Each structure stands twice: as C-alpha cells, then as structure tokens.
Chain A
Amino acid sequence: MARPVSYNIFKKPLETDISMADMPDGHQGEGFFATSLNKVIGLARKNSIWPLPFATSCCGIEFMATMGSHYDLARFGSERVGFSPRQCDLLMVMGTIAKKMGPVVKQVYLQMAEPRWVMAVGACASTGGIFDTYSVLQGIDQVIPVDVYVPGCPPRPEAIIDGVLRIQDLVGKESLRRRNGEQYKALLEGYGIQ
C-alpha cells in the first residue's frame, strides 16, 4: 500500500545570509527545464572546488587566515581543503618557489586529474616578487600553466577570496571541449607536459 510522502511541510524562510547559486539560462515550462550540459556541469563544478594549498611561505599564513574562522573560504563551496593532488581541482601555489622546489610543483600538477586549475597567489608565485635572485623561480608560469594570478605581497585574505571567485567564473564558463582541444594540448606541450 502506498504511503503518503510529504516533505517540506514546514515552510522555512529563506535566510538572507545564505546565497544560492543562480539557475542557468534555459527554456522551461511545466515539468521540464532545458539547458546545455555545459552550463549544468559548470554550475556543479564551480560551486564545489576542492583546493590544494601548496603553501611555502608568507602567503601560506594569509591562506591560513582565509581558511580560518574570520574570513572562511568555506562560504564559497571550498571548505574541503584536500592535501592529496589526486582529488583536487584547484592548485593554489602560495609563496616563493625556489628552483629547488620547481620540479616538485610540476610533479604535483602532473598528479592532479583533469580538469585542473592553477592559481598563483602572491607576487613571488606570480613573478618572483622582490626576489630577483639566482635561487628563485621567476614565477611558476615557467613550469606550469596558470589561470589566475593574485597580486600582493602577501595578498589580503579578501584578495585571495577574490582570486577564488575569478577561478569560479572561469570554471563555470569553461567549455566541456576545452580540455580536448588543440589549443589546450599545445599549451601543455609548451610546458613539456603530454
């Protein structure tokens, strides 16, 4: 015998401090909603990015503040900070990368599964910063492709959050075919990655 199922019988008021993701554009009518697969997947991906913090120096401490209770990156769907490159989507390189560390960054990037994004946080990771010296890699874009650069030495937590939001924009709008395209392959080959 079928039992009556009811849910949401107590109507909850929508809390203003919880933001909901907007519905993608599409056609809808009674009982159906049609949109492109791109948009649905983009929506899902962008609001559940798993960051992999690759913190080496000062910017790592600011990332700690970003993750901490005051700024709380978890508000943007990124509370799951993974330390295993295999399961993460976003590599956040924070701090100076010395030449000794360069191969390690590349190794971590290679271990990540596609689709993967990279964010260079701080002046050192972006360009080498004030350390124009023999031992410092002048920007991580010499070894791996970078999607978003966050300026600052170190950037404030707000700036890091802004960087994450820019990544979300990129992720949400990315075409599903991009990673198989010729252009992307050429980009990776430019870094010696097959």
Chain B
Amino acid sequence: MALSYDILQQRLTDKFEGQVSNFQESYGMMEFEAPKEINLKVLNFLYDDEQLKFRFLTDLCAVHFPENKGKELAVVYHLHNMEDNIRVRFKVYTDINQPDVYTASGLFSAANWMERETYDFFGVNFVGHPNLKRILNVDEMDYFPMRKEFPLEDQTRIDKDDEMFGRG
C-alpha cells in the first residue's frame, strides 16, 4: 500500500507516544514538530523504517521567531521519500540562548554544509558536527546575520547620505 500522510501520522504517533505533535497539512505538504532532544530519533526512524523510507534530505534551514519566547529558533528539515514520492516537513524548536540541536550529518552527508550554513546565519549549535564553523561569511564575523534583530545593510557605510534616501 502506498504511503500516505495518514499512515505516516499514525506510525509516528505510535512510535513516539505523543511526543511528536502539531501535525498539519498545508499546500499539499504535511508538517509536524518534535522536541529537539529526539530529532535524531525521529530522523532515524523515518530513514530506517521499511514502510516510511524518508531517505533523502531535501533541505535543512532555520527560521527565527523572536516573539516565540523559549522557542525562538526553528530548525526545519524537508525530507523526501523518493519511492512513493512523498515529502514531509519536520521542525524542531530551540531556545535562542541555548541553541543546541543534534547534528544530522551522521545520517545524511548532505546535512554537513547545510548545518554549517544554518550555524553561520542563525547560530544554531549542531552538537556532534565534525566541522562546525562559518561557511559563507568571513570568519571574523561576530554575529549571526539572519536573525531578525540584525540589519541588512552594512552599518559601517559612510557614503550613504540619509537625506537622499528620505531617512534624514
């Protein structure tokens, strides 16, 4: 029987006894969340299970929700079961003051750089990552630019006359 979102939800609820929550489907893709402590258990279960077979990590990124106190950073995994052609989105939330999430690079080689990028942009500390350092930005950078509180523009620019841009 082909895999469907109902079966997936049932299997996950059975396996993790209510720890996996917030199932919802929007724009044709199901998403769910789990506590960050069991992210690897969930990923491993989805990978190894003979029925689920989510063996392709499509994407890994983070999102910053400053208003969501205690759960400011969301790490988002997009997984793909290529045999049944079904995609799923899986989120774990973490506190911004202690952004430790277990690394998925042992399971997916593709996660290596994507986690480095996420660290570079959001400062998510992937525990157990073999080489967690900045990838796109310069090493000397001392903040995580994609967090909402940081501005887009370079603040050291002096050639911009605010009067000209209507901000004077």
Contact = CB atoms under 8 A, between A and B. Distances in A.
Interface of A: 99-100, 132-136, 138
Contact of B152 (A99, A133, A138): A133
Nearest to B138: A100
B154 interface: yes
Contacts, number: 24
Contacts of A138: 154, 157, 159
A134 B138 contact: no
Given A134-B145, A138-B159, A100 B137 contact: yes
Nearest to B151: A134
Q: Is the interface of B mostly helix, strand, loop or mixed?
A: loop
Interface in B67-82: none
A36 B6 CA distance: 88
Contacts of A100: 137-138
A181 B138 CA distance: 37
A113 B152 CA distance: 38
A132 B153 contact: yes
Contacts of B137: 100, 135
A133 B153 contact: yes
B159 A99 contact: no
Nearest to B139: A100
Given A133-B152, A134-B145, 15 more contacts: A100-B138, A132-B152, A132-B153, A132-B154, A133-B153, A133-B154, A134-B150, A134-B152, A134-B153, A134-B154, A134-B155, A135-B136, A135-B137, A136-B154, A138-B157
